[in-house]
Amino acid sequence: MRIKVIADSTCDISPDLLTKYNIRRTPLTIVKGESGFKDGDEITPKEIFDYVDSGKGVCRTASINISEYSQVYAEEKSNGADAILHFTMSALLSAGYANAVVAAREFENVYPIDTMSLSTGAGWLVLYAAELIEQGIEITELVEMCEAKKMLSDASFVIDTLKYMYKGGRCSGIAALGANMLNLKPCLELRGGKIEVGKKYRGNIEKVVRQYIEDRLKGRGDLDLSRAIITHTFFNKPEFVESIVQFVRELMPFDEVFATDAGCTISNHCGPGTLGILIYRK
């Protein structure tokens, strides 16, 4: 059976991994002003940051609609896919999963998966599935394994500023002002498919990132050590990002640790100076 894996752009899987595992990426729409642009194809995080810094406003994100998903499924079926496994960000954060479920009803053997996560918290699960397919796991067992594994996600980010969340209506002006005055850097955690505020750090974001990473990893014996993913918006600081990858390797013996750039959706809501470590429990 030929199983095709599809992942929304919110999964933040890098182009090389998409190619390696033959994963189809379906882009959300970023609305800037009166125009819509395909996430990562027609707009970049830097263009989003520049737009916000210009004072013209903020960008919005739009989910992929039912007809768009139907077209994608039809194309993959016509290309020879016997089954389709499609990963979306948390259904509590986007209409994507609900739309995918409706579109899937038109086809046989199309399985949308609500990852209950976002960014490479979802992307980790996509790669897990792709590797299982290479091992010959059949679709029904594959779906069961992914549904079980997603409950073990440990996804979080630490952010430098609440400006983007405030401008996007995701936190109050008082909260943003207070965080700025106290130089607080909140950790955002995915819990039950929702984003909640965890520990609040204080100080320079690069120092905070290292403390955050240590807090997430040190002394833990419950982690799946096959892979850890660092996803970030430190696009102009590759040396810093590489130092964090090495720091993770020093703290925990993961088989694989790599960094990916956050896509437009995460960048639009969290802004520059965001970094997360995306891991799973055993």
Find the CATH number of the domain harbouring 11: 3.40.50.10170
CATH code assigned at 194 = 3.30.1180.10
pLDDT recorded at residue 154:
97
The tally of CA atoms less than 13 A away on the side-chain side of residue 42 is 11
Low-confidence ranges of the chain (pLDDT < 50): 168-182
Last residue of a domain, one of 122, 150, 178: 150
- Give the separation between CA 103 and CA 14, rounded to whole angstroms: 26
pLDDT recorded at residue 232:
98
How many domains does the chain fold into? 2
Residues 99 and 143 in one domain: yes
Residues 93 and 161 in one domain: no
pLDDT recorded at residue 68:
98
- Give the separation between CA 72 and CA 68, rounded to whole angstroms: 6
pLDDT recorded at residue 280:
98
Residues 202 and 174 in one domain: yes
Residues 193 and 61 in one domain: no
3-state helix, strand, coil in the chain (%, to 5): 40, 25, 30
pTM for this entry: 0.93
Structural domain range at position 261: 153-280
Token pair 């496994």 is found at: 85
Last residue of a domain, one of 129, 150, 171: 150
pLDDT recorded at residue 168:
46
pLDDT recorded at residue 167:
53
pLDDT recorded at residue 262:
97
User: 74 vs 7, 9, 10, 143, CA distance in Å?
Assistant: 16, 19, 22, 20
